[in-house]
Structure 1
Amino acid sequence: MMVWCKKHMQNKLFKNRLIADTMISLILLSLMLSISIMFISIPSAKFSGAVYAASGVPVSNAMVVASGPNGHGFATTNPSGQYSITEGLPTGTYTVQVIAQGYLNAKNEDVTVIAGQETPNINFYLTLSGGISGRVTDAVSATPLENIVIVALPSSGGGEFGWTAMTDADGYYSIITNLGTGTYNVSAIFPEGYIMESIGGIAVTAGSEVKGINMALDRSGIISGRVTTDPSGAPLGNATVYAVSDDGEYNGHTETNATGHYRISSGLGTGTYTVTAIYQGWNIEIATDINVVAGSETKNVEIAITVTPPPPSGIITGKVTDTTDKPIVDAVVVADGPAGHGEAETDENGNYVISTGLGTGTYTVSASAPGYSDAQITDVSVTINQVTPNINFQLTQIPPAQSGRITGTIQGDPNAIPEFPNPITILLA
Structure 2
Amino acid sequence: MFFTVLAVGASMGPAAAQVGGTSALGGRVTDDTTGEPLAGISALAWIPSGEAGEEDGGWVGVASATTQADGRYRIGDLQPNDDYRVTFDDVSDRPFRYTYEAYDDAQDIFSGTDIDLPAGTELDGIDAALTMSGGLRGRVTDAVTGSALADVDVFAEPLVGEISDFRLGTVRTAADGTYAFAHLPAGDYRVRFLPQSTADRYAQAWWRERTTAVAADVVTVDRARIREGVDAALQPGATLAGRVTDPDGRPVAFVCVELYDEHGAAVSSGFVGDLGMTAEDGTWRIEALPAGDYRVRVAGCGGGLIGPEVDDVGWAPAWFGGDRAGDAESVAIAAGEERGGVEITLQRGGAVTGFLTDAAGAAVGWACVRAVDAEGWVVAESETHPGDPEAGEGVAGGYQLTGLAAGSYRVLFSDGCSELTGYAPVWHGGADRFEDAAAVVVASGTVTDDIDATVTAEGATVIGVVRERDGGPPVPDVCLDARPRGSAVPVVSGMTGPTGEVHFSGLPSGAVEIIVRECAPGSFTSYRGTLTVELDPGAELDGVVIEAADQVERLAGPTRVETAVEISRATRPSADAVVVARADDYPDALAGAPLAAQLDAPLLLTGGSALHLAAAEEVARLGAETAYVLGSETALSARVVADLEASGVDDVVRIGGANRFETAALIAGRLDGDAVYVVEGGHADPARGWPDAVAVSGLAAAQARPIVLVERDRLPEETRAVLGTAASATIV
TM (normalized to structure 1)?
Answer: 0.53
Describe the shift of the 1:240–1:175 C-alpha distance in structure 2 as closer, same or farther (beyond 3 A): same
Change (3 A) 1:89 1:232: farther
Check the 8 A contact 1:150/1:188 in 2, yes or no: yes
Query: How has the CA–CA distance of structure 1 residues 233 and 89 changed in structure 2, closer, same or farther, with 3 Å as cutoff?
Result: farther
Distance 2:261 2:79 in 1: 48
**1:311 and 2:358 correspond:** no
The 2-side partners of 1:196 and 1:138 are apart by 12
Q: What is residue 180 of structure 2 aligned with on the other side?
A: 174
Structure number with greater Rg is 2
Unaligned runs of 5+ in 2: 1-21, 49-53, 91-95, 105-112, 209-216, 269-274, 303-314, 321-328, 356-363, 371-381, 402-412, 420-447, 451-497, 500-732
Cα distance in 2 for partners of 1:275, 1:86 equals 62
Q: Which has the higher contact order (CA 8 A, sep 6+)?
A: 1
SS at 1:254's partner residue?
coil
- Contact kept in structure 2, 1:66 and 1:97, CA below 8 Å: no
Instruction: State the match for 2:339 in structure 1.
Output: 298
- CA 102–353 in structure 1, closer or farther in 2 if over 3 Å, else same: same
Once the two structures are TM-superposed, the CA of residue 306 in structure 1 deviates from its matched residue by 0.9
The letter for the 1-side match of 2:40 is: V
- The one of 52, 59, 83 equivalent to 1:73 is 59
The 1:150/1:289 distance shift into structure 2, 3 A limit, reads: same
- Give the letter aligned to residue 98 of structure 2: Y
What residue is the counterpart of 2:392 in the other structure? 352
Greater strand share, 1 or 2? 1
Distance (whole Å) between structure 2 residues aligned to residue 338 and residue 269 of structure 1:
36
Question: What is the Cα deviation at residue 286 of structure 1?
Answer: 0.7
Question: 1:257 and 1:313, CA in 2 relative to 1: closer, same or farther beyond 3 A?
Answer: farther
Moved more, 82-91 or 113-122: 82-91
CA contact 2:80–2:119 (8 Å) conserved in 1: no
Are the aligned partners of 1:47 and 1:113 in contact in 2 as well (CA < 8 Å)? no
Q: Counterpart in 2 of 1:225? A: 242
Q: Which residue of 2 aligns with 1:98?
A: 88
The C-alpha deviation readout for 1:110-145, integer Å capped at 9, x for no partner, is: 553246566455243534222112233433353424
Partner of 1:241: 257
SS at match of 1:357: strand
Residue deviations 1:377-425 (CA, integer Å, cap 9, x gap)? xxxxxxx989xxxxxxxxxxxxxxxxxxxxxxxxxxxxxxxxxxxxxxx
Aligned mates of 1:85, 1:224 — CA distance in 2: 63
Question: Normalized against structure 2, the TM-score is what?
Answer: 0.33
Aligned to 1:256: 278
Post-superposition shift, 1:186?
3.6
Name the residue aligned to 1:188: 192
1:233 to partner: Cα distance? 1.2
Deviation at 1:278, TM superposition (A): 0.9
Distance 2:388 2:250 in 1: 34
Cα pair distance change 1:52/1:132, threshold 3 Å: same
CA distance in 2, matches of 1:345, 1:129: 49
- The 8 Å contact of residues 73 and 85 in structure 1, kept in 2 or not, is answered as no
CA deviations on 1:195-242 (whole Å, 9 max, x unpaired) are 3222336454321212332222223211112223333513321x2211
Aligned partners of 2:238 and 2:334 also within 8 Å: yes
Q: Which residue of 2 aligns with 1:390?
A: none
Identity of aligned residues (%): 19
Matches within 5 A, 1:27-46: none
Q: For residues 131-174 of structure 1, what are the alpha-carbon distances to aligned partners after superposition, in whole Å with 9 as ceiling and x for unaligned?
A: 11223343335342425241254xxx548989722325545433
Q: Is the 8 A contact 1:136 1:172 kept in 2?
A: yes
Query: Offset at 1:274?
Result: 0.8
Counterpart in 1 of 2:548? none
Shift of 1:276: 0.4
> Which residue of the other structure, out of 17, 36, 40, is the alignment partner of 1:59?
40
CA deviation after TM superposition for structure 1 residue 251, in Å: 2.1
Please state whether the residue corresponding to 1:343 is helix, strand or coil: coil
Q: 1:271: how far off?
A: 2.8
- Compute the displacement of 1:284 (Å): 0.4
Which residue is equivalent to 1:21? none
Q: CA distance change for structure 1 residues 249 and 236 in 2, over 3 Å: closer, same or farther?
A: closer
CA–CA distance in 2 between the matches of 1:269 and 1:104? 34
Structure 1 portions without partners, runs of 5+: 1-43, 315-332, 370-383, 387-427
Cα distance in 2 for residues equivalent to 1:159 and 1:341: 28
CA RMSD in angstroms comes to 5.1
| Equivalent residue in structure 2 for 1:113, among 107, 113, 116 | 116
Query: Match of 2:214?
Result: none
* Code of the aligned partner of 1:301: V
Going from structure 1 to structure 2, the CA distance change for 1:46 and 1:295 (only over 3 Å counts) comes to farther
**Does the 8 Å contact 1:51/1:59 carry over to 2?**
no
**Residue deviations 1:23-66, cap 9 Å, x none?**
xxxxxxxxxxxxxxxxxxxxx98666675666545335687878
User: Is the alpha carbon distance of 1:303 and 1:78 closer, same or farther for their aligned partners in structure 2, counting shifts above 3 Å?
Assistant: farther
Give the aligned partner of residue 284 of structure 1: 317
**1: CA distance between counterparts of 2:386 and 2:83?**
33
Counterparts of 1:147 and 1:83 in 2: how far apart (Å)?
43
Mapping of residues 372-411 of structure 1, within 5 Å: none
Stretch moving more, 109-118 or 303-312: 109-118
Counterpart of 2:144 in structure 1 is 140
CA contact (8 A) 2:354 2:449 kept: yes
Q: Which residue of structure 2 aligns with residue 210 of structure 1?
A: 227
Q: Distance in 2 between matches of 1:126 and 1:283?
A: 53
Opposite residue 344 of structure 2, the aligned amino acid is I
CA separation in 2, counterparts of 1:216 and 1:46? 54
Q: CA 1:78/1:210 → structure 2, altered by over 3 Å: closer, same or farther? A: farther
